[in-house]
Amino acid sequence: MATTKENVEDNYIKKLDIPISAKPDIVDNQYKILLNKPVHDLGNEFCKYFVATNTQKNTEHLALIYENSCIPPIGILNTLSGKNIVGMVNILAYAIVTLSSNNNKCLAVIIEHYNHKQTLTNYIKDNKRLNIKQVEQLIKTLTLVLSRLNNDKIASIGINPDNIIILGDGTFILREFIHSYPNFYQKEQFIAPEIVECHPAARNSTIKGDIYAMAVTAFYTYTGREPWEEYPDNIRYNEARFEKTSYKLLTGDLKIPERMKLFLRSTLHDNVGLRWKISTIISWIEGKLEQSITHNLNANNQLHIAFNEKNYSNMQSLAYALFNNWNKVLPFLKDGKLAKWIAHQQINNDVVKNVQELCEGVTKSTLALKNSPESNRIISKLLSLIGHFGTIRYDGIAISATNVPQLLHYLLTNNKKVIFEKVIRIIQYEDLNNYTHPDAAGYVGEANINIYKNLITNLNSSSPFNGFERLVYSLNPYAKCYSRIVEKDYITDIQALLVSLDKIAEEDPKKFHIDRNMIAFIAAKLGIKNDINPIVLKNFPKFAEHPTVIALSIICTLQKKFNMKIPNIVVALALELKELCAEYIHNVKFKAEIISNLEKISSDNTVFDIVDVLSNQQKFINDYNGYYEACKMAQVYLEKIQKLRSSQKTDNRALIFGQNVTVLTSYVLCFIVAMILII
């Protein structure tokens, strides 16, 4: 470990307190999770479902248990827990709970029970479609839910027919949306155009995206049609909806009442900036908005541009095609067609100028027409200009600005290092400045600017204090420490980590260890920007760079900050240091003294008592110097021995051999005496 100046900021991350259950399988002292009754149909890679019962009221509920590799939406759970919101499955309680099946600690959420087979999708299959009155009731229900959640700045609630339950009385309720990252499992046709290329773990949370999903749901339930099924894959469907616009592609020549047509035209708008807001939808529900919309919904124009043997009429469809044919973009820029076509688009003159300059630069350059950091940089910038309402795009990956923290966590925990590094590269570009509209997926905004400052700094060091793990932990305050050493516990703060380590040290002192993951976790929580200085023996690499001394230095830093009792860690460190000193100290008397003092360390001591035992640097220097001198003398004697051996003559062998043996023996005896005197 390097010995650069220690820099610990006083910025320990303050978080919401997560309730902790005192009893296994019990949440909020009343909800019992029935681990023998899993609901497999609802589970996914982020969580598992089980039946739960209220032991006080004898009612049935559902328990959602997060996988430890997932970052649960603690803010949403805290906001909605115990709240009764009409039109959605409500969250009743949540807590960290110990599972009796394996003694692992996990985050569990109790939600209202529902029949997961009574979905709107199944209803439509059985009954063909909803009537206009039912569709308007569905829109009203979803709008009220969206409006209520929007007040708490909660969005991306996974609206689609699979996630809507229709009850026996005809009312609708939206399923819980906390079972994954926002829109991770959303079906492609319900994803708003501005985030359609996004990595599933990087889809941003916006009310406008929910409104688009609600509009597609309303269309499907009213018509029973699924136009997306007519295309061989999602890419072909997306190309078609970008060219024709979502509204025209879906509705075609269908006869739809004018009132519903107004709703669909305005909520299916591909331009997120022109898509209806919640307040406008409420006015429509109340009958206060019946006029036809006046702005142009069709982004098409008469001037097409050819790319990859297809014609495109608007920037959104062209940007999508360029992203999906990344390696063909630079030759396309070189032929000059884009520079001419862009001049006829109804966009900001600065955008036109920047695109034309980019094309001109590529035409004049000698840049190889193949995948390279510089070519990727050019294409990414181009897409930020012509697709400025969309995602931030790079070769093979598209992201939204606000969801970078959870994306990086997802990539790191799933060993997607190549994509992880691509995301970091994207953020280091200046193209984010081109996403200026608050509804754009690439818009950073003042609220998230610090995230990107953290991303750009401290990424070049190989130290765990500045590595990828530290970055992920610093960006995600509710990320669990996923070190395998403490994987059974649910650790999101330093205190919990110390408690867990002390328990491990009590059960088996030899298993106590602080690995790279823990170091990164600690560095993120404390805002450590440089390596922690070895607290003892910093001038002796064999000691200073040893994991035990590193652990001692880290524990001392944490003790200064939190002053917790960790008696078993103290004993474990003393035992490990005893073995270390037995191996590396040479002077027999000094070794016995140090080991004796370490053996006196007990659970009544602190880590600072251990530091005192090892604090006399001069004795360690004397030990090292003595060993060094002994080694030098030994080398001299060995060289003389070797010289005698090589100089033996063949003449008078017996006599000369006897003399040499005598001299050799004397040298060996001198060597032994010298070693005894020095050591």
Per-residue pLDDT for 13 more than 50? no
CATH value at residue 94: 3.30.200.20
Give 406's pLDDT tier (boundaries 50, 70, 90): very high
Boundary-marking domain end, from 112, 138, 154: 112
Q: Are residues 534 and 563 located together in one domain of the fold?
A: yes
Question: Which pLDDT score is estimated for 134?
Answer: 96
Question: Which pLDDT score is estimated for 233?
Answer: 94
In eight-state DSSP terms, residue 537 is: -
Q: Are residues 148 and 228 located together in one domain of the fold?
A: yes
Can you tell me the mean pLDDT for 273-281? 94
Question: Which pLDDT score is estimated for 372?
Answer: 74
| Tokens of residue 417, six digits | 């290092």
| Residue with tokens 């209803």, as numbered in its chain | 123
Pairing of β 305-307 and β 397-399: unpaired
Can you tell me the mean pLDDT for 400-429? 87
Q: Which of 624, 633, 540, 556 is nearest to 585 (CA)?
A: 624
CA atoms in the 13 A half-sphere facing the CB of 388: 18
Q: Choose from 13-22, 525-534, 598-607 the range with maximum mean pLDDT.
A: 598-607
Concatenate the DSSP letters of all residues of 69-91 into one string.
TS---HHHHHHHTT---TTBPPE
In a domain, 530, yes or no: yes
Strand partners, 91: 111
Lowest mean pLDDT among 137-146, 157-166, 616-625: 616-625
Question: Which pLDDT score is estimated for 7?
Answer: 37
Rounded distance, CA 535 to CA 320, Å?
A: 55
Q: How high is the mean pLDDT of the chain?
A: 85
Rounded distance, CA 324 to CA 237, Å?
A: 13
Q: Are residues 143 and 256 located together in one domain of the fold?
A: yes
Q: What is the pLDDT of residues 201-221, one digit of tens each?
A: 999 888 999 999 999 999 999
Question: Which pLDDT score is estimated for 167?
Answer: 93
Find out whether 170 and 221 touch, Cβ atoms under 8 Å.
no
Question: Which pLDDT score is estimated for 371?
Answer: 60
Distances, alpha carbon 15 to alpha carbons 78, 98, 407, 415, in Å: 11, 21, 20, 27
Question: Which pLDDT score is estimated for 366?
Answer: 63
Rounded distance, CA 323 to CA 329, Å?
A: 8
Question: Which pLDDT score is estimated for 109?
Answer: 98
Residue 378: strand, helix, or coil: helix
In a domain, 10, yes or no: no
Q: Are residues 544 and 580 located together in one domain of the fold?
A: yes
Question: Which pLDDT score is estimated for 3?
Answer: 34
Q: 370 or 429: which carries more pLDDT confidence?
A: 429
Q: Are residues 200 and 272 located together in one domain of the fold?
A: yes
Concatenate the DSSP letters of all residues of 427-493 into one string.
HTSSGGGG--STTSTT---GGGHHHHHHHHSS-S--STTSSHHHHHHHH-TT-----GGGTTS---S
Give 359's pLDDT tier (boundaries 50, 70, 90): confident
Lowest mean pLDDT among 139-153, 439-453, 495-509, 519-533: 439-453
Q: Are residues 191 and 49 located together in one domain of the fold?
A: no
Question: Which pLDDT score is estimated for 368?
Answer: 57
Q: Are residues 189 and 166 located together in one domain of the fold?
A: yes
Strand partners, 244: none
In a domain, 217, yes or no: yes
Find out whether 154 and 79 touch, Cβ atoms under 8 Å.
yes
Strand partners, 26: 32
Boundary-marking domain end, from 57, 92, 112: 112
Question: Which pLDDT score is estimated for 93?
Answer: 97
Q: What is the pLDDT of residues 50-63, one digit of tens each?
A: 999 999 999 999 99
Give 518's pLDDT tier (boundaries 50, 70, 90): very high
In a domain, 383, yes or no: no
- Please give the helix or strand (H or E) that residue 10 lies within, else none: none
In a domain, 373, yes or no: no
In a domain, 638, yes or no: yes
Find out whether 464 and 520 touch, Cβ atoms under 8 Å.
yes
Q: Are residues 567 and 586 located together in one domain of the fold?
A: yes
Question: Which pLDDT score is estimated for 458?
Answer: 54
Quote the percentage of the chain above a pLDDT of 90.
Answer: 52
Pairing of β 172-174 and β 305-307: unpaired
Domain count, the chain: 5
Question: Which pLDDT score is estimated for 494?
Answer: 93
Please state the φ and ψ torsions of residue 331, each to the nearest 5 degrees. Answer: -60, -35
Q: What is the pLDDT of residues 297-334, one digit of tens each?
A: 444 456 889 999 899 988 999 999 999 999 999 889 88
In a domain, 545, yes or no: yes
Q: Are residues 96 and 134 located together in one domain of the fold?
A: no
Residue 49: strand, helix, or coil: strand
| Tokens of residue 658, six digits | 């006897």
Q: Are residues 228 and 318 located together in one domain of the fold?
A: no
Question: Which pLDDT score is estimated for 55?
Answer: 95
Boundary-marking domain end, from 569, 596, 615: 615
| Residue with tokens 């520079």, as numbered in its chain | 339
In a domain, 7, yes or no: no
Residue 638: strand, helix, or coil: helix
**Strand stretches in 228-371, DSSP E:** 305-307, 310-312
Q: What is the pLDDT of residues 236-245, one digit of tens each?
A: 999 999 999 9
CA atoms in the 13 A half-sphere facing the CB of 517: 16
Q: Are residues 633 and 548 located together in one domain of the fold?
A: no
The single-letter code of the amino acid at 561 is: K
Tally Cβ neighbours within 10 Å of residue 617.
13
Q: 529 or 405: which carries more pLDDT confidence?
A: 405
- Residue 97's domain spans which residues? 26-112
Q: 622 or 569: which carries more pLDDT confidence?
A: 569
Q: What is the pLDDT of residues 69-84, one digit of tens each?
A: 899 999 999 999 999 9
The single-letter code of the amino acid at 575 is: L
Burial class (CB in 10 A: 0-12, 13-18, 19+), 584: middle
Q: How far is CA 115 from the centre of its chain?
A: 32
Can you tell me the mean pLDDT for 494-504? 94
Q: 296 or 615: which carries more pLDDT confidence?
A: 615
Q: Are residues 337 and 198 located together in one domain of the fold?
A: no
